[in-house]
Each structure stands twice: as C-alpha cells, then as structure tokens.
Amino acid sequence: GENVEQHPSTLSVQEGDSAVIKCTYSDSASNYFPWYKQELGKGPQLIIDIRSNVGEKKDQRIAVTLNKTAKHFSLHITETQPEDSAVYFCAANNFGNEKLTFGTGTRLTIIP
C-alpha cells in the first residue's frame, strides 16, 4: 500500500517569511496529492490539491509542486501571516480510489 512521509514535524517562521513542507510517497500509481489544513479544535480542510499531470499549482499565497520522478511534492506558503498557524497534512492516492493515505502532519507556527 501507499506510504507517505512528511517533514518537518514542526516548523516556526517569522511573519512575512516563506514556509515549505515536504512529502514523499511510495506508490508510483498515486496521481492525486491534496493538502489539508487543520486549525486548533477543528477538522482538516482541503486548501489545495494537484494531479500528476501538472508540476505546479498556485492559489494566491500557497502553491504545491510535484516531482513524479522523485516521488515527492511540497507545499509552499509565501508572505506568511498569523492565521497560517495550523497543522498541515499532505496525502496521496490514485484518483478515484476511496482511500487517502495521509502524512504525519506538520505543525506550523508563525512568529509575529
């Protein structure tokens, strides 16, 4: 089955700086890679996703990059703000498969 590794487990950045979270996956058949954000006391919520037919996707201050050859994908947050403080999860699956495999999460803290 799929195995997703996520690094780092914790990350602190100064407000306004950029943050990068990295994930690797094991199953070459995986072709869908979402990122979820979990705020304190809430459930995870999708913030961006990418399919394997593209290498990069942007949505305002967040972007995701995918390297299929190396089997890794990354979340980039630019111009970080206090409201970006949260736990972020990457995930992977074969699009249409019922099950998502999640990474272990990254706790991001933005320092004012």
Residues that bind other proteins (CB under 8 A): 6, 9, 32, 34, 36, 41-46, 49, 89, 93, 95-96, 98-100, 102-105
Minimum distance between the CB of residue 102 and other proteins, rounded to whole angstroms?
Answer: 4
**Do 88 and 10 contact (CB within 8 A), yes or no?**
no
Q: Give the residue with the Cβ less far from other proteins, 77 or 105.
A: 105
Nearest approach in angstroms of CB 30 to other proteins is 12
Q: Please, which residue, 78 or 87, has the CB nearer to other proteins? A: 87
Q: Least separation, in Å, of the C-beta of 34 and other proteins?
A: 7
- Kind and range of the H or E run holding 47: strand 45-51
| Of 47 and 78, CB closest to other proteins | 47
d(CA 61, CA 51): 19
Residue type, 97: N
Q: What are the Cα distances from residue 102, in Å, to 18, 22, 63, 90? A: 23, 13, 19, 6
Nearest approach, Cβ of 79 to other proteins (angstroms)? Answer: 26
Contacts 24+ apart (CB under 8 A), 56-64: 62/35, 64/33, 64/35
- Closer to other proteins by CB, 24 or 103: give it: 103
